[in-house]
Amino acid sequence: MRFMMIVKSAERSGPPPKALMDAIAKLSDDAAQAGTMIGGGGLGPTALGARVRLSGGKVTVTDGPFSEAKEVVGGYAQFELKSKEEAVESAVRFMELHKKHWPGWEGETEVRQMFGPEDFAKTA
C-alpha cells in the first residue's frame, strides 16, 4: 500500500534547527535503507507560490504568500508500507523528532493512502 505523508505547519521565517534536520536526514536514510520511502521533498515558501482556484464558475489566480492560512504544506513523502498502522507509526516517529529537536513547534502530518492497482481492481 502506498501512502502520502503531508506535513503541515504554520509558515515560519526561521529555518528549522540543524539538530532536527540531521535527525530527519537519519530517519530518511533509515527509511530508504528499509526500502519503504520511495520519494518525497520539501516545499518552498508560499511567497514563491500561487493558488489557482475555481469558484462560482470562475478561475482565479492568487499569488502567495498565503498569509490567511494557519498551516500550510511544507513537505511530503511517499512510502510503500504494509498497513495504515505502519504508516501512522512512521509519522509518529517523524513528529517525535520535531518534539525533541524543535521545542514549541506545532504542526501535523496527514497520512493518506494512495490508490494502487488493487483499488482499481476493486472499482472495476
Partner 1 sequence: MAATDTHRAIDAVWRIESPRLIAGLARIVRDIGLAEDLAQDALVAALEQWPQSGVPDNPGAWLMATAKHRAIDHFRRNTRLERKHEELGRELVTKEMAVPNFDAAIDDDVGDDLLRLIFTACHPVLSPEARVALTLRLLGGLTTDEIARAFLVPEATVAQRIVRAKRTLTKERVPFEVPRGAELAARLSSVLEVIYLVFNEGYTATAGDDWMRPALCEDALRLGRILAELAPQEPEVHGLVALMEIQASRSRARVGPSRQPVLLLDQNRALWDQLLIRRGLAALDRAEKLRAENLRAEKLSGAQGPYTLQAAIAACHARARTAEETAWPRIAMLYEALAQLAPSPVVELNRAVALAMAFGPQAGLELIDTLMAEPSLENYHLLPSVRGDLLAKLGRFDEARPEFERAASLTRNARERELLRQRAAACARESAPPQPQ
Binding site for partner 1 (CB under 8 A): 1, 32-36, 38-39, 78, 80-83, 85-86, 88-90, 96, 116-118, 120-121, 124
> Which C-beta is closer to partner 1: that of 7 or that of 37?
37
The nearest distance, CB 117 to partner 1, in angstroms, is 4
The nearest distance, CB 65 to partner 1, in angstroms, is 29
The nearest distance, CB 8 to partner 1, in angstroms, is 22
| One-letter-per-residue 3-state SS of the chain | CEEEEEEEECCCCCCCCHHHHHHHHHHHHHHHHCCCEEEEEECCCHHHCEEEEEECCEEEEEECCCCCCCCEEEEEEEEECCCHHHHHHHHHHHHHHHHHHCCCCCEEEEEEEECCHHHHHHHC
The nearest distance, CB 106 to partner 1, in angstroms, is 19
> Which C-beta is closer to partner 1: that of 12 or that of 26?
26
For residue 61 the three cell numbers come to 489566480
> Which C-beta is closer to partner 1: that of 96 or that of 108?
96
> Which C-beta is closer to partner 1: that of 78 or that of 113?
78
